[in-house]
Structure formats: C-alpha cells, structure tokens
A and B are shown apart, each in its own frame.
Chain A
Amino acid sequence: MQPAAVYTRDRCVTGIHGLDEILRGGIPYGSTVLASGTCGSGKTTVAMEFLVRGALAGEACAHFTATEPSVKLLENIRQFAFFDMNMVDTGLINVFDMDVLYSWLGLEKSSFDLDDVHALIKAIVDIVNTIGVTRLVIDSVTTLCYKIKSEQLIRDFLFTLGKKLSTLGCTTILVSEITSATENAHWSSFGVEEAIADGIIVMGDVERMGHLLRFLQVVKMRGTSHSRAKHAIELTPIGVMLTPMLKWGAQSDKQGRWGA
C-alpha cells in the first residue's frame, strides 16, 4: 500500500536567513502573521527584511507605518547591504504613512467606530489590490488598534482585513508591541490579535548576567509544521541571522536558569 500523499501549502519564502528553515519552507501564502515583540527586539527589522527580500524577488510590497515617518523608515532600511533605493523608485516597495491615510479618509480622530474601521479596511485592501501587493507589513497594529476602543471591533477589523488580504494572495505581517515576551505573557497587546492571526512570531530578550540576547520564536503557524524552539538573532548588514539558542541559556537569569 502506498502512503497517502502529503498536501503542502505553497509558501511565501521570507528570504530571512534561518527563518524559512524554522518554518520548513516559509510562511504559507496568504497568511496573516503577528510579529510580536518587546521594544528593541528586532520586529521592525525582521518585517522590513521580509519586504526587501520580496522586492528582490520581484514582488510588489507595501508597508503601512504608524510608528515612525516613512522617510525615517527608509533611512533605516538603507543599513541593509541588499537594499536598493530603486526598489522604492520602481514601485516594488511602497511605504504609506498611516497619518496620511487617516487624513485622506477623514479619520483624524482619537477613536474609530465601525464605519471608520470598514473605511480603513477598504482603503488598505484597495491599495493592495491596485498595486498587486503580495507582501504587506503594518507597523504597528498596536498603534492602529489603540484607536479602536472595543475588543469586538478590533477582532472584527483584524478578521475582516486578514480574510480579504488572504483572498488577494497577500501575505501579511502585523507588527505588535508587547511589554513582556516571557512564558505567561500574551502574544499581543489586546489579547484578541493572537487568536485571529494564522501565525505568531515572538521576539524578545533573554537576560544573561546583565546582557540582553535577542531571541525569535515561532509560537504558531497554521499550515506548516515548524520549529517552536527559541532562536538567538543578530541584526547584521546582510540581514537578520538566526541560530538555535543554547538550551541551558534559553531562560532569563531571574527565571532560575542557574538552578535556583
């Protein structure tokens, strides 16, 4: 008897050294992935490399920035040896300031209601559809969701957005800011994003004798068997580099690594 054929979903190869191996080939196409992390953990860098690697492969990419102006963001990407400003000039990388988008939509207000949320979804989906975006980053979804006051509305926003982007074949990374990446923490700011996302990549720091080591861990990724181990990361001019974190050093000192 022949073994049953194993169905594997097509992958969006991130191009990030080591991450595709952790994901056993990449992110399943059309997934919405939450990249959650504490400040300085490298989530924006990982998200930007995801876009630049996509642009290098000829894919149209879009970045919605809510935390820093697009000019500053582009300055930061120049650190990558493989980034070329032509990617922006030729429309492979498209950066949008959320403030400008709010202004276009007449959403310059402190909180959004249901209609506002749907207008925002429509605007993002229209941009993705018009440009033919296959890789999208929203940085950060936390900043965006602060304007949405109800948990139910946040859930509705993320679910609808994710569904529509997936239909368009767009793989999305939602950057999420969290205050702690330890075992008992939520993987998102509002607690609802993590349930809706197809994948969760957590980034944080392990404290070892007064030094902070950045780590990345894929907690969840629907549609692929993947490693769930902690990996140490370094941000280098040739991109993010990963290696499995030492098992005896994977927990912060205060969590009793020294056998306390």
Chain B
Amino acid sequence: MIMFELDQRIAEQLTEVALNSAVQVRCGNSNAFMVTASTMVPLMQMFEMGGVYISGSRSAIEMIEAFETIGIDVSHIQFIDLVSSGVLGGTDVDRPNIHFVDSPIMLESILLRTLYLLRTTANERNFIILDSVNSLAIYNEDRMLAEYLHTFINTFRQREVLSVIINVPDQTSPLVLSNLDLYCTDLIDRGQVVIH
C-alpha cells in the first residue's frame, strides 16, 4: 500500500453540501487522482454513501486498482466504464462492479445505466461521480454536452442523488464551463489558473 495524502479541505467542504447538490470539482492534469480520491473517500467513509463512478478518463479496472493501491476498498461502488469497449480485450475483466457502455458518445445509455444501477442498489444515499467532462468532450459536440450536463444534473437532483462532476477547466470549452457554473450548486476548485 502506498502512503497517500488526501486533501482534507475537500472533506470539510463536502460537509456543507446537501444530498441533492451538483458539485463541480475542478482539478488539474497533475492532481486529478488526488482530487478525485479526496472527494470520493469522505463520501464513502464519512457520509457512508454508495454510488456510481462513471469512468471516462481511464478504464474502470485501472481506477479501481489505483484506489486499492492507496488502501481504499471500492468494491461496493459501481463503475461504468466508457473506455474499455473501445479497446479489444478491454472488457475481459472479472469484477462484478464494472459495467461497460460502448462509447462516451452513448450519453443517454450512460444515464440509463446509472439509473439502472441506482435502482438496484441497497444504499439509501448515493453519489454519482462523472469523470470527466473533458473525456466526454473528446467525442461530443459542445452543444450536446451542455444539454447532457443539464439533463444529467437535473435527473439526479430530482432523485436526491449527489452528483460530482470532474473537469479540468483550462481544457474545457467556455460554453460547457459556463453551463457547469450555471447548473452546479457547489464548486470545489483545485484546478489550474484559468485565463479566458
């Protein structure tokens, strides 16, 4: 197990957040995993939440192994992997908590799969982590991504599910970023300096 220091200020900030909130988490290229882990660990351990992790930046197995390396058990978290179906042999993993969607272009399928997993979970309080806006932006036009984020956030707010949306702001288009600013109720900013 590797010693890993979490950003405790993120945990403090999360204590202020309501269950039906949408939290925009800004990170940089170099601190993305630290910020993600610092957000997810308190949700699981302090607030005893379950949830769904939408893994668009890296394959789900890679994310799970990264969490395990720092001693965090994520076996009760469901992972939706948007990466591995694009790699032949990528879906050949034996983990019951990994679910695959063919491509990040299938935005509605991602939403439906998340809703399906939430309907089948026994947890009373849940979060959704979308990792990340930037990985979806590779495949989807700005206007469609903006529409999707609007639908995504409202869908989970209505169901009292906390949504956490990770993005690297200096690599996010102004349209998508301004929409995120508008829809999200909270901001955790560990991103790089943004100059527009």
**Stretch from B56-64, B112-120, B156-164, B188-196 that touches the partner:** B112-120
CA separation between A22 and B92, bound complex, in Å? 38
Contact code string B101-113 (vs A, CB < 8 Å = 1, else 0): 0110111110111
Whether B107 pairs with A241 at a CB distance below 8 angstroms is: no
Whether A248 pairs with B116 at a CB distance below 8 angstroms is: no
List chain B residues, Cβ under 8 A from A247: 147
If the complex has contacts A209-B139, A211-B102, A258-B141, are A245 and B108 also in contact, measured as CB distance less than 8 A?
A: yes
List chain B residues, Cβ under 8 A from A130: none
CA separation between A234 and B110, bound complex, in Å? 10
Whether A246 pairs with B106 at a CB distance below 8 angstroms is: no
If the complex has contacts A241-B115, A258-B141, are A246 and B105 also in contact, measured as CB distance less than 8 A?
A: no
Whether B119 pairs with A238 at a CB distance below 8 angstroms is: yes
B155 at the interface (CB under 8 A from A): yes
Whether A234 pairs with B144 at a CB distance below 8 angstroms is: no
A243 at the interface (CB under 8 A from B): yes
List chain A residues, Cβ under 8 A from B141: 248, 258
Shortest C-beta distance, B184 to chain A (Å), equals 19
Contact of A234 among B103, B109, B147 (CB under 8 A): B109
Whether A208 pairs with B116 at a CB distance below 8 angstroms is: no
List chain B residues, Cβ under 8 A from A213: 106, 108-109
Q: How large is the interface on B (under 10, 10 to 19, 20 to 34, 35 or more residues)?
A: 20 to 34
Most chain A CB atoms below 10 A, which of B108, B111, B148, B155: B108
Shortest C-beta distance, B175 to chain A (Å), equals 12
Whether B151 pairs with A244 at a CB distance below 8 angstroms is: yes
Which single residue of chain B is at the shortest CB-CB distance from A206? B108
If the complex has contacts A211-B103, A238-B116, A238-B119, are A246 and B144 also in contact, measured as CB distance less than 8 A?
A: yes
CA separation between A14 and B111, bound complex, in Å? 22
CA separation between A242 and B111, bound complex, in Å? 10
CA separation between A43 and B115, bound complex, in Å? 21
Whether A243 pairs with B106 at a CB distance below 8 angstroms is: no
CA separation between A208 and B139, bound complex, in Å? 10
Whether B106 pairs with A211 at a CB distance below 8 angstroms is: yes
Whether A211 pairs with B116 at a CB distance below 8 angstroms is: no
List chain B residues, Cβ under 8 A from A244: 151
B residues 65-124 touching A (CB-CB < 8 Å):
102-103, 105-109, 111-113, 115-116, 119-120
Contact of B108 among A209, A232, A238, A258 (CB under 8 A): A232
B9 at the interface (CB under 8 A from A): no
A152 at the interface (CB under 8 A from B): no
Contact of A208 among B105, B113, B143, B147 (CB under 8 A): B105
A236 at the interface (CB under 8 A from B): yes
A249 at the interface (CB under 8 A from B): yes
Whether A232 pairs with B116 at a CB distance below 8 angstroms is: no
Whether A246 pairs with B155 at a CB distance below 8 angstroms is: no
Contact code string A200-211 (vs B, CB < 8 Å = 1, else 0): 000000001101
Whether A246 pairs with B107 at a CB distance below 8 angstroms is: yes
CA separation between A241 and B119, bound complex, in Å? 11
Whether B144 pairs with A249 at a CB distance below 8 angstroms is: yes
Shortest C-beta distance, B21 to chain A (Å), equals 21
Whether B105 pairs with A236 at a CB distance below 8 angstroms is: no
CA separation between A13 and B151, bound complex, in Å? 26
CA separation between A234 and B117, bound complex, in Å? 12
Contact of A246 among B103, B108, B116, B139 (CB under 8 A): B108
Shortest C-beta distance, A239 to chain B (Å), equals 10
Whether A248 pairs with B108 at a CB distance below 8 angstroms is: no
Q: A213-B106, A242-B112, A245-B108 are in contact. List 11 more A-B contacts (CB 8 A).
A: A209-B105, A213-B109, A232-B108, A232-B112, A234-B116, A243-B108, A243-B151, A244-B151, A246-B148, A247-B147, A249-B144
Which B residues contact A (CB, under 8 angstroms)? Answer: 102-103, 105-109, 111-113, 115-116, 119-120, 139, 141, 143-144, 147-148, 151, 155
Complex A-B, nearest 9 residue pairs according to Cβ-Cβ distance, in ascending order: A232-B108, A248-B144, A234-B112, A236-B116, A209-B105, A241-B112, A248-B143, A208-B105, A246-B147
12 contacts between A and B (CB under 8 A): A209-B105, A211-B103, A211-B105, A213-B109, A234-B112, A236-B112, A241-B115, A242-B112, A243-B108, A246-B107, A246-B108, A248-B141
